[in-house]
Amino acid sequence: MGLQCFFGGTTIQTLRMAVIPASSSSRFIFGKPLSKTLTLNSLSRRCSSINYLKKPPFTLLIKAFSSTAEQTAPSTESVENRSVVKPQWKAAIDFKWIRDNKDAVALNIKNRNSNANLELVLELYEKMLAVQKEVERLRGERNVVANKMKGKLEPLERQKLVKEGKNLKDGLITLEEDLLKLSDELQQEAQCIPNMTHPDVPIGEEDCSTMRKMVGSPHEFSFPVKDHLQLGKELDLFEFDAAAEVSGSKFYYLKNEAVMLEMALVNWTLSEVMKRGFTPLTTPELVRSSVVEKCGFQPRGENTQVYTVEGSDQCLIGTAEIPVGGIHMDSILAESMLPLKYVAFSHCFRTEAGAAGTATRGLYRVHQFSKVEMFILCQPEESESYHEELIKIEEDLFSSLGLHYKTIDMASGDLGAPAYRKFDVEAWMPGLGRYGEISSASNCTDYQSRRLGIRYRPSESSTNPKKGKGKLAPTKFVHTLNATACAIPRMIICLLENYQQKDGSVVIPVPLRPFIGGLERIAPKFPQDE
């Protein structure tokens, strides 16, 4: 916790840190042991749960931070020769449940290709329980001694008791230290355990995912189909080359009607989702790294998708799921407040570490994009039905835009650590000649809420708030869900490629026209060579 407090987020701290050149050595100066990075790198075996990353990536140069750190000898304290770093926060993991259901948990870990070490978790848990018991026993004995010393005693007897008391105290201190270390290590290992899996989820790798639904079919074109890059060039909609100079590859400017199209998509999507009872939000795009971790992402893992701000504990968000998940962290909500339904608009930033190849041309895989995201907090027994509600909303939106798409029930090997179940939507992109992911809807059950500390109090007792603690029903963890309502660049690809006309123009789908000043088509700017 001490390390966490150091970066209290004051701007003065940040400004001094900014003077230091960008390198991992800045970590030294502020007392953060590099070992923290090393250990957390080892946690990268957790599945990356970011929607767009599917292939095992190789390290991007930007993450020089991680690789440089590995060259320096760590100074960690170790418990039985393992490196342990004090976690900055604790997930409220139900160890007893894990122990009581260890076969199911083990099978789940295997099905998800997770590297979580269940044996170690159980071992540490038992040890911790044993040490706890011993601590309690010693405390009991110490109390007995203390009570004895309150009465009249012979000097010799008193001396003997004092010595005994001191021995007990020293023993306790050692045990309590051990308990702390065990507890930290248990946390570190247990946090790697992925969420359980819905029984209907297909078991296996990506190719085992099953199709839930298909809407429409690929449009037949009577002329050669262009991809979005070519359309963008001819219609003067993007600028990639200048962006590569100014910012680097996978950055872009949108121009002209593409800007209007982005605005229209965001406004229409927000409007449609608000109609369904969601509260609109805009969110911070810089958040504390602990919040990123609590949502199930890894800011400091190898191949991390997360940009970190130099000299601070802040990261750029890869999705509004993170700041929205954080709104109610460390809170107890009244049952009557649930469900909470948010629709959030934000820019998103992703390093896309390791992603390469043609599937990353143009707008398909970029470092920065706009996205409208849906987020629900609800009671556990309702999360499955809200998952269905979210995928239905997505399907309604994409159908309204006239897209041809399929909804996929993602296989166990392709779920992110937080997701109990995940539905992806892939839309037909004629220019790419294949389906491309345009959205993802996850039911994270209590995985995120146990880390973010989001509870609710069931209502039996909410009518008697003042009757004393004994009368209140115990709190439970909420379930959280998130779903992409609109990821702008992929939507732009879909609209340009599907709605292209023979004359080189692109038709604007009818639902968007009121949000784009009535514009019906994007017309070519330059004469076309036939």
Enumerate residues 353-382 that contact other proteins by CB under 8 A: 367-368, 370
Rank residues 328 and 404 by Cβ distance to other proteins and give the closer one. 328
Cβ proximity to other proteins: between 13 and 230 the closer is: 13
The binder of other proteins chosen from 3, 79, 120, 260 (CB under 8 A): 260
Nearer to other proteins, 84 or 495 (CB): 495
- By CB under 8 A, residue 184 contacts other proteins: no
- The stretch near other proteins (CB under 8 A) out of 175-183, 208-216, 258-266, 354-362 is 258-266
Looking up tokens 């075996």, which residue turns up?
45
Q: Which of 216, 284, 380, 524 is the binder for other proteins (CB under 8 A)?
A: 284
Q: Which distant-in-sequence residues (6+ apart) come within 8 Å of 119 by Cβ?
A: none
Min dist CB 466 to other proteins, Å, is 23
User: Which residue has tokens 């946090």?
Assistant: 191
Q: Which stretch binds other proteins (CB under 8 A): 166-174, 310-318, 438-446, 473-481?
A: 310-318
Contact between 337 and other proteins per CB under 8 A: no
Regarding 255 and contact with other proteins (CB under 8 A), the answer is yes
Nearer to other proteins, 50 or 105 (CB): 50
Tokens 């122990």 -> residue = 99
187 or 312, CB closer to other proteins? 312
Structure tokens at 55: 């292939």
Residue 293 touches other proteins, criterion: CB under 8 A: no
State in angstroms the smallest separation of the CB of 9 from other proteins.
3
Say whether residue 108 binds other proteins (CB under 8 A).
no
CB of 346 to other proteins, least distance (A): 9
Among residues 135, 149, 208, 309, the one that binds other proteins under rule CB under 8 A: 309
Rg over alpha carbons for the chain, rounded to the nearest Å, is 27
Q: Give the whole-angstrom CA distance, residue 286 versus residue 309.
A: 9
266 touching other proteins, by CB under 8 A:
yes
Binding other proteins by CB under 8 A: which of 164, 310, 335, 382?
Answer: 310
Stretch that binds other proteins, among 47-55, 116-124, 266-274, 380-388 (CB under 8 A): 266-274
Q: Coil, strand or helix: which one is 360?
A: helix
CA distance 125 to 123: 5
The verdict on 125 binding other proteins (CB under 8 A) reads no
Site string for other proteins, 314-333 (x = CB under 8 A): x-x------x--xxxxx---
- Compute the distance between CA of residue 188 and CA of residue 195 in angstroms, rounded to an integer: 15
Q: Pick from 281, 305, 280: which is nearest to 355 by CA?
A: 305
Among 29, 64, 162, 523, binds other proteins (CB under 8 A): 64
Residue 283 makes contact with other proteins by CB under 8 A: yes
CA–CA gap between residue 448 and residue 40 (Å, rounded): 19
From the number of C-beta atoms within 10 Å of its C-beta (0-12, 13-18, 19+), residue 45 rates as: middle
Q: Is 267 a binder of other proteins (CB under 8 A)? A: yes
Is 279 near other proteins (CB under 8 A)? yes
Q: How far apart are CA 400 and CA 218, in angstroms?
A: 16
* 243 part of the interface to other proteins, by CB under 8 A: yes
Residue indicated by tokens 């490629």: 497
Q: In what helix (H) or strand (E) does residue 437 lie, and over which residues does it extend?
A: strand 434-443
**DSSP 3-state assignment of 30?**
coil
Q: How far apart are CA 130 and CA 117, in angstroms?
A: 20
By beta-carbon proximity to other proteins, the closer residue of 284 and 339 is 284
In this structure, what token pair is assigned to residue 135?
Answer: 């601590």
Q: Is 1 in the site for other proteins (CB under 8 A)?
A: no
Task: Give, as one character, the DSSP assignment of residue 401.
Answer: T
Shortest reach from residue 347's CB to other proteins, in Å: 5
Q: What is the DSSP letter of 238?
A: E
The one among 256, 399, 464, 528 contacting other proteins by CB under 8 A = 256
Write out 75-110 in H/E/C secondary structure.
Answer: CCEEECCEEECCCCCCCCCCHHHHHHCHHHHHHHHH
- Residue 312: count other Cβ atoms within 10 Å of its Cβ: 20
CB closer to other proteins, 1 vs 61 = 61
**Tokens 């880390």, located at residue:** 451
Half-sphere exposure of 35 (CA within 13 A, CB side): 14
Residue of 117, 123, 79, 115 whose CA lies nearest to 99: 123
Among 6, 15, 162, 173, binds other proteins (CB under 8 A): 15
**Amino acid code (one letter) for 25:** S
Segment lying near other proteins (by CB under 8 A), choices 36-44, 193-201, 302-310, 417-425: 302-310
Identify which range of 58-66, 98-106, 164-172, 438-446 contacts other proteins by CB under 8 A. Answer: 58-66
Site for other proteins in 467-526 (CB under 8 A): 517
Least separation in angstroms between CB 338 and other proteins: 17
Helix (H, G, I), strand (E, B) or coil at 480: strand
User: Is 435 among the residues that bind other proteins (CB under 8 A)?
Assistant: no
C-beta separation of 462 from 335 below 8 A? yes
**Is there binding between residue 33 and other proteins (CB under 8 A)?**
no
Closer of 68 and 132 to other proteins (Cβ): 68
19 binds other proteins (CB under 8 A): yes
- The correct pick among 5, 11, 200, 224 for binding other proteins (CB under 8 A) is 11
Q: Of 247 and 399, which CB lies nearer to other proteins in the complex structure? A: 247
Least separation in angstroms between CB 326 and other proteins: 4
Would you call 137 exposed, middle or buried from its count of C-beta atoms within 10 A (0-12, 13-18, 19+)?
exposed
The encoded tokens of residue 150 equal 């309150």
Please give the span between the terminal C-alpha atoms of the chain, in angstroms, as a whole number.
67
24 near other proteins (CB under 8 A) = yes
